[in-house]
């Protein structure tokens, strides 16, 4: 396999990998390891400040906007106690209200019949603290279709039910994604901090190193993280890259790797010998993969930027998810054992399933196969990026 380097034009950092090109590099790239001394992470609180804010936003969204009476009746003035019950535990300002509106006012969507008795208590039973609307919606509609009552369906599909179900899965399988992924959305994960257990797991599963020049250029420095905080550092960005890989809940296997539906597990299966973060001395020194040595080198110059505390920073259009997409792109060169085979910078087709094909399908799946884990803004961004990759990085778009 060729040794591959991705060359690109960056908005802020080379993570705009859609504009990358490929060229051959030598086998003598230096990988100087630096073991970073880490500061102790703060303990998690039972109710972080950002969740308090979301809880209030949830109540504000519902009060005066959504009727607590089932259609066609209408009364949008809620008792505070019921609003608090509906929004308690929410990690998205709109999901509980969206869920309540679905069951009380979207009756055609779940095929309500005359036999179905329905009132606001059913909405509370189903939607209190809702975090995963697509999962709840699918479950509720299925139970109604097999003859369950509204109340039975609500109690058998609410967030409390799924939390208990997931806890059983965690206990029985010990899966990576279930052990560390209690966050209902990518945004909630990015507001949190990696635990010591998660840090140890990541460093155990992957041989991660840092060039000395990152220290010399004050990129690799002491770091910290608080729940809901705005701290940023190359270390936090690195850990969040792997945390996203662990936790993104795809609903199907990857097009490029049958039998895999978890990015973290797939990355482990690639058998990457080393992931090295390096300091780029010039604008033409970009992230790359060495297939012979099975190593990945990722440019670290700007990974400490505050934009990487977001899934996608709305001002720059770049965020932590792009660090993960870049890692997957480079890992695909190793996994698929393929270089860019069209003009040395592109893939011949999606059917070829080179690194650009993997990136295309990854963006498609992020947009359409992850339920409510990403915001609508983020999903639109993924869909747009997938189309852009197909338009400018695939030579034969008719042979896919």
How many angstroms separate the most distant Cα atoms in the chain?
74
Q: Residue 167 has what pLDDT? A: 66
Average pLDDT, rounded, for the chain: 81
Lowest-pLDDT choice from 62-71, 156-165, 322-331, 340-349:
156-165
My answer on whether 20 and 150 are in the same domain is no
CB 233 within 8 A of CB 221: yes
Cα gap 49→58, rounded to integer Å: 14
> Is 180 contained in some domain?
no
Lowest-pLDDT choice from 13-27, 247-261, 307-321, 363-377:
13-27
Residue with tokens 């250029």: 217
My answer on whether 119 and 203 are in the same domain is no
| Residue-number span of the structural domain to which 208 is assigned | 3-43+192-366
> Is 187 contained in some domain?
no
Residues 203-243: pLDDT tens digits? Answer: 889 999 888 888 888 888 778 888 888 889 999 999 999 99
- Which residues, at least 6 apart from 257, have a Cβ–Cβ distance to it below 8 Å? 266, 269, 335
> Is 79 contained in some domain?
yes
- Please give the C-alpha separations between residue 273 and each of 33, 52, 176, 208, 366, in angstroms, as whole numbers: 13, 43, 20, 9, 27
> Is 389 contained in some domain?
no
> Is 182 contained in some domain?
no
My answer on whether 26 and 84 are in the same domain is no
My answer on whether 249 and 345 are in the same domain is yes
Residues 111-163: pLDDT tens digits? Answer: 989 889 899 999 999 999 887 788 889 899 999 999 999 999 999 999 888 87
My answer on whether 196 and 333 are in the same domain is yes
* Top-confidence residue, 21 or 209: 209
Overall domain count for the chain: 2
Q: Residue 393 has what pLDDT? A: 94
Residues 237-274: pLDDT tens digits? Answer: 999 999 999 999 998 899 999 888 999 999 999 999 99
Instruction: For residue 21, report the phi and psi dihedrals to the nearest 5 degrees.
Output: -125, 175
Cα gap 393→400, rounded to integer Å: 13
Cα gap 97→110, rounded to integer Å: 17
pLDDT category at 290 given cuts 50, 70, 90 is confident
Verdict on whether the full-model pTM lies above 0.75: no
My answer on whether 107 and 252 are in the same domain is no
My answer on whether 106 and 78 are in the same domain is yes
- Which residue in 76, 137, 72 sits closest to 103, CA to CA? 137
Strands 21-24 and 3-7: antiparallel
My answer on whether 216 and 274 are in the same domain is yes
Cis peptide before 10 (omega within 30 of 0): no
My answer on whether 38 and 53 are in the same domain is no
My answer on whether 226 and 361 are in the same domain is yes
> Is 352 contained in some domain?
yes
My answer on whether 262 and 353 are in the same domain is yes
Cα gap 307→29, rounded to integer Å: 29
Q: Residue 170 has what pLDDT? A: 54
Instruction: For residue 192, report the phi and psi dihedrals to the nearest 5 degrees.
Output: -95, 180
My answer on whether 9 and 53 are in the same domain is no
> Is 357 contained in some domain?
yes
Residues 36-65: pLDDT tens digits? Answer: 333 222 333 334 444 566 778 889 999 999
Strand order in the sheet with 288-290: 21-24, 3-7, 288-290, 295-299, 274-278, 208-210
> Is 186 contained in some domain?
no
């Amino acid at each position: 396999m060729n040794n591959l380097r991705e060359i690109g034009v960056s908005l802020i950092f080379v993570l705009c990998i859609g504009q990358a090109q490929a060229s051959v590099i030598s086998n003598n790239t230096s990988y100087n390891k630096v073991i970073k001394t880490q500061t102790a992470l703060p303990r998690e609180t039972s109710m972080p400040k950002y969740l308090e804010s979301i809880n209030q936003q949830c109540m504000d969204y519902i009060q005066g906007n959504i009727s607590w009476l089932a259609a066609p009746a209408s009364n949008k003035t809620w008792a505070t106690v019921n609003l608090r019950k509906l929004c308690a535990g929410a990690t998205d300002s709109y999901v509980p209200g969206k869920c309540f509106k679905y069951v009380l006012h979207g009756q055609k969507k779940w095929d309500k019949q005359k036999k179905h008795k329905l009132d606001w208590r059913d909405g509370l039973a189903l939607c209190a603290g809702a975090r995963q609307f697509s999962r709840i919606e699918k479950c509720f509609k299925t139970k109604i279709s097999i003859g369950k009552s509204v109340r039975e369906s609500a109690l058998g599909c609410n967030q409390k039910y799924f939390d208990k179900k997931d806890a059983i899965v965690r206990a029985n399988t010990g899966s990576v994604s279930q052990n560390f992924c209690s966050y209902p959305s990518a945004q909630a994960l990015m507001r949190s901090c990696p635990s010591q257990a998660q840090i140890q797991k990541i460093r155990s599963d992957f041989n991660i190193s840092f060039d000395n020049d990152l220290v010399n250029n004050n990129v690799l420095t002491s770091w910290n993280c608080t729940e809901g905080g705005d701290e940023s550092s190359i270390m936090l960005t690195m850990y969040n890259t792997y945390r996203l890989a662990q936790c993104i809940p795809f609903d199907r296997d990857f097009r490029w790797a049958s039998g895999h539906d978890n990015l973290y597990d797939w990355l482990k299966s690639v058998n990457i010998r080393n992931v090295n973060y390096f300091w780029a001395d010039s604008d033409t020194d970009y992230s790359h993969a060495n297939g012979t040595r099975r190593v990945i080198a990722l440019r670290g110059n700007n990974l400490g930027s505050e934009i990487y505390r977001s899934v996608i920073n709305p001002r720059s259009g770049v965020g932590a998810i792009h660090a993960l997409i870049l890692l997957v792109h480079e890992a695909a060169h190793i996994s698929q054992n393929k270089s860019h085979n069209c003009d040395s910078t592109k893939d011949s087709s999606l059917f070829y399933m080179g690194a650009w094909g993997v990136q295309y399908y990854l963006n498609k799946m992020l947009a359409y196969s992850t339920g409510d884990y990403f915001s609508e803004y983020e999903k639109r961004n993924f869909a747009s990026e997938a189309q852009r990759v197909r338009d400018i990085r695939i030579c034969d778009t008719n042979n896919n």
